[in-house]
Structure 1
Amino acid sequence: MDASELDQFDKAILRVLVAEGRISITELAGRIGLSKSPTQARLRKLEREGVISGYRALVDPIRLGLDHVSFVEVSLTDTRESALAEFNAAVKRIPEIEQVHLIAGNFDYLMKIRTQDMQDYRRVLAEQISTLPHVSKTSTYVAMEAVKENALSEVF
């Protein structure tokens, strides 16, 4: 199932669930204008087809003391598939790395790192990121403010 196969009710289900993942089927049905049974059938189909890949709680990282956000450009010494696979596996083991994207551009990866403060970030950079396989260079950009995050519901 891809985006072109989603009708107005499927998109409404997704829009509501992105904003409120713990909503009951009855309330979801009322919000999208269908009865409970067809809403539940559509929801199960969206799950079965992989459009909805799971459910999770969103926590406020600032309330957990993780309010330092850095973006790191990473250049590798080797970009063959085996080197990329080795790097990809290694970054998944570092909990402070929130996101990693392979980039087409002047560097190879862009990472979002979340830590307690600059001192904690420096530790993560020196002890973990810089020691990742095939890393040749990093450049760090510190975020001063998050202007927009988690806006997927606006797509639908």
Structure 2
Amino acid sequence: MDVVLDDTDIKILSLIQGNARISNADLAREVNMAPSAVLERVKKLEQKKVIIQYNAVINPAAVQQKLLAFIFIKSKEGFTCSTDMAKKLAAIPEVQEVHHIAGEDCFLVKVRTADSAGLMQLMRNKLQKIPNILSTKTTIVLETAKEDHQLVIPKKNETA
């Protein structure tokens, strides 16, 4: 996807990413533009799929999702892991991320559950039912030093 972004687009993206609830008036003030012009820019960024969605980041512990784990999944299909398996993994509510990876395994999956019993239930009742999973390796996170959902948005002159 080759989308050309100017300095104003980049500033808008940085501001929205920092606070998705920023008002259009505040956004316009920050980029020194008329609110109508900023609104048009934001709509174009949405249409071009630069801005995909707006989210609230929720503390997992507040909703009893205290256990974070990463599961490496090896498929019987080998390196040609199917998109069907990826879709089945992505359809599991506890699964937050599904990554097709290079190396011995096919997928790296990030999951959150209430506790180890919830993780075991996920493995037995959901993952085990997906055809062609050869093996899994699970890593449980003990403590998180950093978890950031924001991208580094390079300045216009930093892009290569």
TM-score, normalised by the number of residues in structure 1: 0.89
Q: 96, 99, 102: which one pairs with 2:97?
A: 99
Q: Letter of the aligned partner of 1:27 in structure 2?
A: D
- Residue deviations 1:44-99, cap 9 Å, x none? 11011111122233322111010100000000001486x61321221132111111
State the partner residue of 2:53: 54
State the partner residue of 2:124: 126
Q: Which whole-Å CA distance do the structure 2 matches of 1:126 and 1:29 have between them? A: 51
List structure 1 runs of 4+ shifted beyond 4 angstroms: none
Q: Which whole-Å CA distance do the structure 1 matches of 2:24 and 2:61 have between them? A: 31
TM alignment of 1:33-52, pairs within 5 A: 33-52=32-51
Q: Which whole-Å CA distance do the structure 2 matches of 1:153 and 1:99 have between them? A: 16
Q: Letter of the aligned partner of 2:35 in structure 1?
A: K
Q: Which whole-Å CA distance do the structure 1 matches of 2:117 and 2:48 have between them? A: 44
The alpha-carbon deviation at position 7 of structure 1 amounts to: 1.2
The alpha-carbon deviation at position 153 of structure 1 amounts to: 4.2
Q: Letter of the aligned partner of 1:111 in structure 2?
A: V
State the partner residue of 1:145: 143
Q: Which whole-Å CA distance do the structure 1 matches of 2:104 and 2:136 have between them? A: 12
TM alignment of 1:81-92, pairs within 5 A: 84-92=82-90
Check if 1:2 corresponds to 2:2.
yes
Distance 1:6 1:79, change over 3 A: same
Higher mean C-alpha deviation, range 105-114 or range 139-148: 139-148
Q: Which whole-Å CA distance do the structure 1 matches of 2:6 and 2:140 have between them? A: 40
Contact preservation (8 Å) 1:86, 1:133: no
Q: Which whole-Å CA distance do the structure 2 matches of 1:7 and 1:131 have between them? A: 48
Check if 1:20 corresponds to 2:48.
no
- Pairwise CA RMSD of aligned residues? 1.9
TM-score, normalised by the number of residues in structure 2: 0.87
Q: Which whole-Å CA distance do the structure 1 matches of 2:125 and 2:61 have between them? A: 24
